[in-house]
Amino acid sequence: MDTILRIDVGAAGGPKATPTPVGDYAGLGGRGLTSAIVATEVPADAHPLGPENKLVIAPGLLSGTAASMSGRISVGCKSPLTGGIKEANAGGQAGQLLARLGYAAIVLEGARQGDDLYVVRISKDGVTITADPSVRRATNYQLMDKFLGEYDKTGAMIAIGTAGEMGYGNSTVSITDMEGRPTRHAGRGGVGAVMGSKGIKAILIDAKGAKSRKPADPEAFKAASKAWVEGLEKHPVTGEGLPAYGTNVLTNVINEAGGLPTRNFATGQFEGASKISGETQAELEVARGGSATHGCHRGCIIQCSGTFVNKDGRYVTKQPEYETVWAHGANCGIDDLDVIAELDRLDDDYGLDTIEMGATIAVAMEAGVAKFGDGQAAIELVREVGKGTPLGRILGSGTATTARVYGIEHAPCVKGQAMPAYDPRAVKGIGVTYATSPMGADHTAGYAVATNILKVGGDVDPLKAEGQAELSKNLQIATAAVDATGMCLFIAFAVLDQPDTFQALVDLLNAYYGWNLDAAGVAAYGSKILAFERDFNQRAGFTSADDRLPRYFKREPLAPHNVTFDVSDAELDSVFG
């Protein structure tokens, strides 16, 4: 991983790939590398879809090694949705394979010439880039049908669907899973549109002949690897809870805690929660011959995913995650898992972020475009987005834009990005993360839900303002560091509770790179990444006024606890103050 592959899409005669040394970026991976490159090389006043923006795709520091859970990949740029810096994180096979081929990152840069769409092919033997008129307006599953034969055995595809091609603020970069399906997405912030603006439709990776990466100290790495796996297997969440029910086990928990945003964040409990819960979902999947335990990439031992099949036993989509089930379910008043699975499939196919899309439909429902609870109407709306009708283009521009177009105050967004599946009034720690993360409203940036609700890594009362700023700050720093390693964030449940498992992760890094990191060093590493991101956002015009929730969360109480968001502005400013 000492090479950055730079693809100049403006080169004479078509995009040209040049391998360059990592140079000053050495020691950075994943989100650390994407944020460093964007903060250093992209002018903060660049238009997100203009020639000065760059799309950076980077596996993590431990991706491509034998360490379990290390296959995550980061996609970074200036976000078309937020106007700030963005790192969107995904699973799938591509992270491991790119790392094995020796790439620390792929950077798409320069000014697109003409409107041809290109397919990039990367293998041990080098890089080829060809214009391919047949991929125009292809969806992700259509791209899979076209290219699966090329990448199914030893490769992966990174691609954009129609959403990215049309430049939507809501558009993903898809990554194929172990079956070669485009089910894993760098979802948030419109990264797909930036790839589309560079005229690159798909990147096909073939890692045939590439070897697993070799650590500086193989013995120490092996020992750390063993402790790492043992730690994950012995923790009840990573060892049992997540494999059995997947992330959607949260529907019942968050509903019980009164923090499940329902009908565009109007109330904190959904009467149909049990019908769309992880328990019901797992039962349905198994009864129909799907699967409730499955990994998104080789080397994942937690396996929070699954396979959703219809009543005839035919594949529909991967097991919709909690965030998706919430966004298209409770938040739209929809209590039908088949409808939710269909929406998940459409989102993956067009390349849409499920959180943003669900939040947008809920706003449209509040505006009267469709009725809450009407699943068929929701499906039709997503089809409009995929087709690019005028209404579809409005919805594809995201939740904040849709609310503006329809004159709705209730846009549950921070920095233009929709809030995920936890109401910040009833889970105040996550509200602090939504407000202050450089990414816009993002639960993964500092998952205070763990401590507020799940009582992992401590216990802070979700309904009180006290202690939330400190909690969010520490989690945001730790998360930035984890996002640099290529490790799936779900390892945090074990790492937060078990000091020896945290140590195993540090040992993996030290053994691989010959470093001497300690806990303080990890925190400093995370802080450095956040500093890059905050600095970029400041130069892009963000101030403390952007580190706030929309006013109505302070004014309108949420049932059943009848709470408002009352973490003070001073406390919010203390997170990075």
Partner 1 sequence: MTITVKCFASLAPLQPKNAGAFPIAPGETVARVMERLRVPEGGASLIFVNNVHRQPDTVLRDGDTVGFFPPLGGG
Strand order in 200-206's β-sheet? 126-131, 118-123, 200-206, 155-159, 173-175, 184-186
Q: What are phi and psi of 40, to 5 degrees?
A: -85, -35
- Number of Cα atoms under 13 Å in the Cβ half of residue 336: 13
| Cβ nearer to partner 1, comparing 147 with 245 | 245
| Cβ nearer to partner 1, comparing 241 with 412 | 241
Residue 481 interacts with which of partner 1, ligand SF4, none, CB < 5 to 8 Å by class: none
- How many beta carbons lie within 10 A of that of residue 570, not counting itself? 10
Among the listed residues 15, 80, 192, 246, the single contact to partner 1 using CB under 8 A:
246
User: Minimum distance between the CB of residue 256 and partner 1, rounded to whole angstroms?
Assistant: 5
Residue 256 interacts with which of ligand SF4, partner 1, none, CB < 5 to 8 Å by class: partner 1
Rounded distance between C-alpha atoms, residue 64 and residue 251, angstroms: 33
| Cβ nearer to partner 1, comparing 37 with 421 | 421
One character per residue 181-220, x = contact with partner 1 (rule: CB under 8 A): ----------------------------------------
In degrees, to the nearest 5, what angle opens at C-alpha 407 toward C-alphas 346 and 365?
35
Residue 1 interacts with which of ligand SF4, partner 1, none, CB < 5 to 8 Å by class: none
| Cβ nearer to partner 1, comparing 36 with 250 | 250
DSSP character at residue 249:
G
Residue 295 interacts with which of partner 1, ligand SF4, none, CB < 5 to 8 Å by class: ligand SF4
Say if CB 500 and CB 477 are below 8 A apart.
no
| Cβ nearer to partner 1, comparing 105 with 492 | 492
Considering only residues 301-340, where is the footprint of partner 1 by CB under 8 A?
Answer: 304, 321-323
Say if CB 168 and CB 193 are below 8 A apart.
yes
User: Minimum distance between the CB of residue 167 and ligand SF4, rounded to whole angstroms?
Assistant: 28
User: Minimum distance between the CB of residue 431 and partner 1, rounded to whole angstroms?
Assistant: 16
User: Minimum distance between the CB of residue 246 and ligand SF4, rounded to whole angstroms?
Assistant: 8
- By CB under 8 A, the count of residues binding partner 1 is 42
User: Minimum distance between the CB of residue 302 and ligand SF4, rounded to whole angstroms?
Assistant: 4
User: Minimum distance between the CB of residue 155 and ligand SF4, rounded to whole angstroms?
Assistant: 18
Q: What is the DSSP string of 538-576?
A: HHTT--GGGSS--THHHHS-BTTTTB-----HHHHHHS-
Residue 454 interacts with which of partner 1, ligand SF4, none, CB < 5 to 8 Å by class: partner 1
DSSP character at residue 346:
H
Which of 86-94, 234-242, 338-346, 501-509 is the region at the interface with partner 1 (rule: CB under 8 A)? 234-242
Considering only residues 430-459, where is the footprint of partner 1 by CB under 8 A?
Answer: 443-444, 447, 449-450, 453-456
286 binds partner 1 (CB under 8 A): no
Q: Give the relative orientation of helices 218-234 and 499-513 as an angle to the nearest 10 degrees.
A: 150
Rounded distance between C-alpha atoms, residue 509 and residue 410, angstroms: 44
Determine if the peptide bond prior to 560 is cis (ω within 30°): yes
- Please classify residue 288 by burial: count the beta carbons closer than 10 Å to its beta carbon, then call 0-12 exposed, 13-18 middle and 19+ buried: middle
Among the listed residues 11, 17, 66, 244, the single contact to partner 1 using CB under 8 A:
244
Region for 436 from its dihedrals, namely left if φ exceeds 0, alpha if ψ lies in -120 to 50, beta otherwise: alpha
Say if CB 158 and CB 203 are below 8 A apart.
yes
> Residue 506, Cα to own-chain centre: how many angstroms?
23
Considering only residues 553-572, where is the footprint of partner 1 by CB under 8 A?
Answer: 560-561
User: Minimum distance between the CB of residue 296 and ligand SF4, rounded to whole angstroms?
Assistant: 3
Applying CB under 8 A, the residues found at the interface with partner 1 are 236-238, 240-242, 244-250, 252-253, 256-258, 269, 278-279, 304, 321-323, 443-444, 447, 449-450, 453-456, 461-463, 489-490, 493, 560-561
